[in-house]
Structure 1
Amino acid sequence: MPKIAVVVGSVRPGRVTRDVAEWVHKTASERPGATYELVDIADFDLPAYDESLPPQYGTYEHPHTRRWAARVAEFDGFVFVTPEYNHSAPAALKNALDFIYGEWNDKAAGFVSIAAAGGVRAVEHLRQIAAELRIATVQAQLPLPASVDFPDYPAFSPSGTRAEELARVLDQVESWSGALASVRG
């Protein structure tokens, strides 16, 4: 059974991303096809990238990098929950992705995004980054427009169809995570 991380992609104080990630995690955990864990990048205190060698070498000198690498290595797939900052993903999420390399390879990922326009531009950038990290991104995604799903901002109130839309993302991430296990050997 695939093990999938629901990744909180923001470290900003007062972030709604954590609330959305908790909803994703709770919903996903009720499904029988995989196990899900919440992973908050804020818990890892990653500085701006500070390793001497590029991550493709897999030689990590700092304890924070080794801790992050070990955590990511545990998973077969990911659901990234991300806000959109200035038409892109948050710098903290990009930094967390950049810190390591092999631990991401040949795994699946889906996206839940948040912003005025649903965060789709952040996901566009994340898909490009994921491709370079050899993460296979699924077709389904769940954009959450602020005016629809946060009518009393910052309170998150998913609209009626969101659970079904999330289920499509989770179905694909679970399926691809299982299929890619044979690639990882």
Structure 2
Amino acid sequence: MLIYIVVGSVREGRTAIKVANWVLQATTELAFKDIQTEIIDLKEWDLPLFAGAHPPASGIYDQPKQQQWADKIAQAQAFILISPEYNHGYSPALKNALDYLGKEWQGKSAAYIGYGSTNGSRSIDQIRQVGTQLGLVDSNAVLEIRDIFKRNQTETFEANEFEIKTLKAIIEKLQKYHVR
């Protein structure tokens, strides 16, 4: 099972990449059987603001990067979507990336990691609604990172015991909801 860890922030000095690197390392250390993880960094993808002539649900992809993005997303069976909370919502880069496609999201399990002033709860609430509309299977697996502003002082994200246990539960739920 291939799980993409989607870095939903493109800002300079972003925390999402630190969290994604921790998720990648921790899933390897937890040694899940038949699990592969890969970081998908939206900053590297640099998707222009979606302005296609056809709605993505049509499956007609007319922007150059749109088909490349579709081909990449189609490979995964599940997603861990990481988003900061911006103004009581989730990042516009992540919304844009989700809006680019239609069928590639459908029937695949999703989990959510958020952080911010309310530990990312508002961000996660909104992204779950959009994910459900796109056909992602909500595995009900969520990690809200507490005290991110105090803890984000180094180059790496240092998870606590609760977060490690929650990540393990997230992977288990993604496996459970994975349709083979």
Give the TM-score category using the shorter length: over 0.9
Query: Which residue pairs with 2:110 in the alignment?
Result: 109
Alpha-carbon distance in 2 for matches of 1:88, 1:37: 25
Superposed displacement of residue 35, structure 1: 1.0
Give ranges in structure 2 of 5+ residues lacking alignment. Answer: none
Superposed displacement of residue 138, structure 1: 1.3
Structure 1: which 4+ aligned runs deviate by more than 3 Å? none
Structure 2 length as normaliser, TM-score? 0.92
Superposed displacement of residue 117, structure 1: 1.8
Alpha-carbon distance in 2 for matches of 1:154, 1:142: 20
Alpha-carbon distance in 2 for matches of 1:22, 1:152: 15
Q: 2:40 aligned with 1:67, yes or no?
A: no
Query: Which residue pairs with 2:55 in the alignment?
Result: 54
Superposed displacement of residue 28, structure 1: 1.4
Give ranges in structure 1 of 5+ residues lacking alignment. Answer: none
Deviations 1:116-154 (A, max 9, x none): 221011010011001110001111211002x2x553433
SS at match of 1:21: helix
Query: Which residue pairs with 2:44 in the alignment?
Result: 43
**Contact 1:120 1:143 (8 Å CA) reproduced:** yes
Correspondences of 1:1-185 after superposition (within 5 Å): 2-30=1-29, 31-145=32-146, 147=147, 149-155=148-154, 156-177=157-178, 180-181=179-180
**Contact 1:10 1:42 (8 Å CA) reproduced:** yes
**Contact 1:16 1:154 (8 Å CA) reproduced:** no
Aligned-residue RMSD, C-alpha: 1.3
Alpha-carbon distance in 2 for matches of 1:152, 1:137: 28
Q: Structure 1 residues 64, 165: CA separation in 2 closer, same or farther (over 3 Å shift)?
A: same
SS at match of 1:37: strand
Paired positions, count: 176
Structure 1 length as normaliser, TM-score? 0.90
Alpha-carbon distance in 1 for matches of 2:27, 2:5: 9
Superposed displacement of residue 161, structure 1: 1.7
Identity %: 31
